Structure 1
């Protein structure tokens, strides 16, 4: 009897342990993914095109700006939801996709908005995967939308490839750059690479930041020309992008009162590189009649003293000086307005976050001009004026909480714990704290 009793007790004990183990295992499945932050979210929108997140491999996710860990999380999450994202709503719930990143990608994602739409739209299809048909060597710069589709890419993929080429300035430049097109995965690149008529490596003088290079779409003029008679299309015909052409015309018409007086005036335009200037110089002929025609006064104007941007603080640079550098009124106004709201810039990265600016031109300015933040207003969370908290772009969404918490917790450390803000938001706020 005793033996049977002990055997039953042992069996019940084992059963209890198994149940506890199973419960512990199932509880783990409910644990949230660790919060992650982006290490690269600065891809320009010009390089994006429509895509189906179900088609992207690890390398392609990283080309969209995700880190290796984030990419692994996204692919793992896709498996958890059944091996396929059904909607944007479902993709947004992935813990590796921040609000900012989702808002940047949302309009390019080829999925229904919600799960209910996906279920009610059984006809919704992703890209069809086809094997590539390549029969001969080719220069990808010369292929049309039709050519890419005939090769085996879908209509959307072909459009994305052409959009990426335009982003680079009209040429893929090298195999290295071609490989960076996020719509082309490793497998397809391996098939295409032997047939590409492109240099293997990107030349050292390629302007990687701007994403555009005059030297690769350079068009040497066949005859001499007068820089004062060229419009935007005329400068584009010489190999400049539309943005660059607009800056040159704006610089000539607004800053130089309608005409270039000397070749140095042209050379001083920031979007014309030294190499491009030397290439065009033999063909430039300044006609005195066009200078007189475009001048407001017949008398020579007193020479304006040019700004030395290497000594101009970005926290005191004026609207007029920004125009002098080559920015248009919209970009200059946005930068001055954002600086005023912040009370001054603390880092140069903040300047690049300004909406509606020409980032290519601003990056050049930031590489020259210094930034002095010593006079920017700073406070602690405890003593910051209420009005300042409620009006500052980085604090206004947490202002009421800060004001409430500091009544009974007059220490910054305790207030931070209670706020529980995202790390990226906290980092911005701390820039303006003592």
Structure 2
């Protein structure tokens, strides 16, 4: 019994000494300096930055600003800690994932008041930075859009300018959907809306280098040229896409009957922007030898006047006028044919739904020309002629049902209930109903 008590006391004493030693070791380590945490802060070129509200950025956009995945997680957690919203630049700066250098780079672009006091005073006007809804309904080549085009799509003026600067940073083209998505201004939500309509390759070429593209473009030498002798490759060498080059040649050969006669003729081509024209103007050489001598030169009385498209009704525009504008025969024929089947267009968007149409060039025409739908024939479901119902593109698939239902239900409201058509189909049909 005494031996047992002896061992118990010995064990207790050992535990006591071990505890004291551990405490001493812990105390000694308390004085060690905490290792300094260094965050990677990639420097993003200022030319592709734009004003932004840090409360609206998603994870992907923060990474586009040069933050690592872990830094982004820290920033988003910090935002939750401060109440789910940054109130000021002062508050954002306190996030330890944002280095002083990084904050200095971003400070001028942050759409927040300088201090919490200013934010709470209500003096900061945020109306200019309200989030806009981006909308698009037709396929487009983003390389061809102007700042005004981006603004009409739903981006703010400064965002639109930043998108164009980003394109310039890449060398004057977005290159691919991948590169387009990397634009800081394009968040994931907007990219998902735009992606199905982008006329760009999905993948970036393996040998693409934005800096090479950017600076090689600046060094490109433009030699004097005669626009009347350039072929497709010649126009492409000047920086135009294959599609743009085709439009220029079509405009020259068909609309101008074979040749540009003046600098104004070149400037008036729709795919040559004002900026591009000024770049090319010093090098354009028009010579009498390459100008096509047409009957216009010999018989002034036969000269055809140019169409004023701002006064040309889209429901009466002719095939020849569409060719004059720059559309090819296939597009012009499709537009005229679809209009005839409909009995006339009720909205401009219907024109863009035409099969085999050059939508980019047609959109330019829609921006200029008016649409008068006052003469388009309309009916009710009850009195619409059977032949009209069966031949109209919007009604022909429901024609038999309409004809059957109205025998016993001569009331448009009841017929609509019985038809049970999809909302988008019904909306199209109602365009042609009284």
**Structure 2 length as normaliser, TM-score?**
0.53
In structure 2, the partner of 1:344 is: 344
Contact 2:222–2:238 (Cα < 8 Å) also in 1: no
Cα shift at 1:356: 0.9
Q: Does 1:229 align with 2:264?
A: no
Query: Out of 162, 177, 182, which is 1:164 matched to?
Result: 177
Contact 1:220–1:279 (Cα < 8 Å) also in 2: no
In structure 1, the partner of 2:272 is: 272
Contact 2:253–2:259 (Cα < 8 Å) also in 1: yes
Q: Distance in 1 between matches of 2:412 and 2:272?
A: 50
Contact 2:255–2:325 (Cα < 8 Å) also in 1: no
Match runs of 1:31-180 below 5 Å = 42=137, 44=139, 141=170, 163-164=176-177, 174-176=183-185
Q: CA RMSD in A?
A: 3.4
1:223 to 1:162, Cα distance in 2 relative to 1, 3 A:
closer
Q: Distance in 2 between matches of 1:298 and 1:370?
A: 30
Cα shift at 1:374: 0.4
Cα shift at 1:300: 3.8
Q: Deviations over 1:336-369 (max 9, x none)?
A: 0100000000000101111111111111111110
Q: Distance in 2 between matches of 1:298 and 1:380?
A: 51
Q: Distance in 2 between matches of 1:411 and 1:183?
A: 40
Structure 1 stretches lacking a partner, 5+ long:
1-38, 48-138, 143-160, 186-196, 200-215
Q: Deviations over 1:292-311 (max 9, x none)?
A: xx335594453421100010
Q: Distance in 2 between matches of 1:276 and 1:405?
A: 60
1:183 to 1:348, Cα distance in 2 relative to 1, 3 A:
closer
Q: Distance in 2 between matches of 1:399 and 1:184?
A: 36
Cα shift at 1:246: 0.6
Q: Distance in 1 between matches of 2:136 and 2:296?
A: 52
In structure 1, the partner of 2:307 is: 307
Q: Distance in 1 between matches of 2:370 and 2:295?
A: 36
In structure 2, the partner of 1:316 is: 316
Q: Does 1:427 align with 2:427?
A: yes
Structure 2 stretches lacking a partner, 5+ long:
1-133, 143-167, 196-208
Cα shift at 1:44: 2.2
Q: Distance in 1 between matches of 2:384 and 2:284?
A: 59
In structure 2, the partner of 1:400 is: 400
Q: Does 1:250 align with 2:253?
A: no
Q: Distance in 2 between matches of 1:341 and 1:412?
A: 23
Q: Runs of 4+ in structure 1 displaced over 4 angstroms?
A: 139-142, 177-185, 216-221, 296-299
In structure 2, the partner of 1:295 is: 293
Q: Distance in 2 between matches of 1:298 and 1:369?
A: 27
Contact 1:311–1:370 (Cα < 8 Å) also in 2: yes
Contact 1:322–1:332 (Cα < 8 Å) also in 2: yes
Cα shift at 1:279: 1.4
Cα shift at 1:271: 1.4
Q: Distance in 1 between matches of 2:228 and 2:418?
A: 62
